[in-house]
Amino acid sequence: MTGWIVLGVLLLILLGLILYVILIYNGFVQLKNNINRDWSNIDVLLKQRYDELPKLIKVCEGYMQHEQKTLEAVIKARSMAGAARADQDRMQAQNALSETLKSLFMVVERYPDLKADAGFRQLSNRISELEDQIADRRELYNAAVTIYNTRIDQFPDVLIARPFNFTSRTLWEIDPTHRQDVDVSFQHS
């Protein structure tokens, strides 16, 4: 009789283990899909920003004849962002675009007429809003990737992750040069 009880309990534990493995596996699938979804959600905003940029450049061109370099940099960065295909390239291209936009908004400070333009204000607000949302979603993406990468390296999840080939994903990191201190100079050339 004791043997039957032991057998029964062992069977229950085995069943529990199988279900636990399924739970972990499904968890990985969900995490992987979450990461893909978060990435796609960033894409939605990037596309919106991509579509808004020509309008902004058009408004700026009328006022900023002497800042052709800055505007060209934005146009070039936009084209690169549109052409990038691999995840890593796209991340880098989008980072570069964000940086050129920052430069553009800094340069705009010298053009009070442009700053007063209602169309420019609306577009710049919209792009700033999109930038904020992109930053939020980038954080979310990184959080999802971190959870996933932690899970696949943790015990006992690692025992399921390895055989089923769940590999780690890349975080969206900023360009290392942007970690350096900003050199502020008030001397006009």
Chain positions contacting another protein, by CB under 8 A: 1, 4-5, 7-9, 12-13, 15-16, 19-20, 23, 27, 30-31, 34, 37-38, 41, 44-45, 122, 126, 129, 132-134, 136-137, 139-140, 143-144, 146-147, 151
Report d(CA 114, CA 135) in Å as an integer: 26
Cα 152 to Cα 156: distance, rounded to the nearest angstrom: 9
Rounded-to-integer distance, Cα 51 and Cα 123, Å: 11
Distance of CA 89 to the CA centre of its chain: 12
Which is closer to another protein, CB of 99 or CB of 131?
131
The minimum distance between CB 39 and another protein, in angstroms, equals 11
Shortest distance in whole angstroms from residue 92 CB to another protein: 22
CB of 9: closest distance to another protein in angstroms? 6
- Rounded CA-CA distance 16/14 in Å is 5
Helices (H) then strands (E): counts for the chain: 6, 0
| Of 87, 60, 50, nearest in space to 172 by CA | 87
User: Residue 43 or 99: which CB sits closer to another protein?
Assistant: 43
Smallest distance, another protein to C-beta of residue 101, A: 18
Whichever of 12 and 174 has its CB closer to another protein, that residue is 12
